[in-house]
Amino acid sequence: MTYDLISRFNHWIIALAMIGMLAFGIYIEDFAPQGPEAGALLQTHKAIGVLVLVYGLWRVGWRLARGFLEPAAPVPVWQDRIAKLTHWVLIASVILMPLSGMTTSLFGGHDIQMFGLFIIPGFAENKAISEIAADAHGAIANVLIFFIVLHVAGALKHHFVDRDTTLVRMTSGRSTR
C-alpha cells in the first residue's frame, strides 16, 4: 500500500506550512522588534494561518475519508501505537492551531486582514476567551513541536535503520525498495 499523489502533495504542502508557521509565530513572539513592524508581521501570520485552515480542512478531510495506511513494514506494537498517536496529534493540530489563533484574534476584538483583499471582522472584545485561546495556541504549538521531532525521527529511523519504504511511499510513492 502506498500514498496516492493527492495525499503526498497535501502532506508536504501542509508539513511545510505548519513548520513555517511555527517558526514565524516564535519569531514574532520572541525575536522580532516590537512596534508597528511586529503588528504587520502578525497580520501576515494571521492571514497565512487562515489559508492554512482552508487548505487544511481539505487535507484533513481527504485523510479521514481515505483512512490511515497500515505500517509499510511490520513494527512492534508499541511503535505502531506511538506512530498512530503522533499522526492524530499532527492532523488535529492542522485545524486546532489556526482555530485557536483566530479565536485569540477575533475575541481580542481584532480584525483579520486577508492580504488587503477582504477583512474578517473582529467580534466584541472578550478578554477571557481571547486569553484562553492564546494560551492554547502557545501550548498546542509546544506539543506540536515535540511530536514533529518524534515524527521526523521516526521517518528517518525507518529509512536509514530499518531500511523500509515508510519514507519513500510519502515521497515518490514507491512501495518497494
- CB-based contact 59:94 (threshold 8 Å): yes
Min dist. Cβ of residue 118 to ligand HEM (A) = 14
Can you tell me which of 32, 55, 63, 109 binds ligand HEM, judged by CB under 6 A?
63
Residues 104-143 that bind ligand HEM (CB under 6 A): 104-105, 112, 134, 137-138, 141
Min dist. Cβ of residue 136 to ligand HEM (A) = 9
| Cβ atoms within 10 Å of 105's Cβ, excluding its own | 25
Give the list of residues 6+ apart from residue 105 with CB closer than 8 angstroms, or none. 46, 112, 122, 130
What are the grid coordinates assigned to 138, written together?
502557545
What are the grid coordinates assigned to 84, written together?
498512530
- The answer to whether residue 96 forms part of the interface with ligand HEM (CB under 6 A) is no
Task: Tell me how far apart the alpha carbons of residues 6 and 137 are, in angstroms, rounded to a whole number.
Answer: 28
Min dist. Cβ of residue 1 to ligand HEM (A) = 9
Task: Tell me how far apart the alpha carbons of residues 62 and 4 are, in angstroms, rounded to a whole number.
Answer: 11
Instruction: For residue 12, give the 3-state DSSP assignment.
Output: helix
**Which positions lie near ligand HEM, rule CB under 6 A?**
7, 11, 14-15, 18-19, 21-22, 25-26, 29, 42, 45-46, 49-50, 52, 63, 68-69, 71-72, 87, 90-91, 94, 97-98, 101-102, 104-105, 112, 134, 137-138, 141, 148, 151-152, 155, 166-167, 169-170
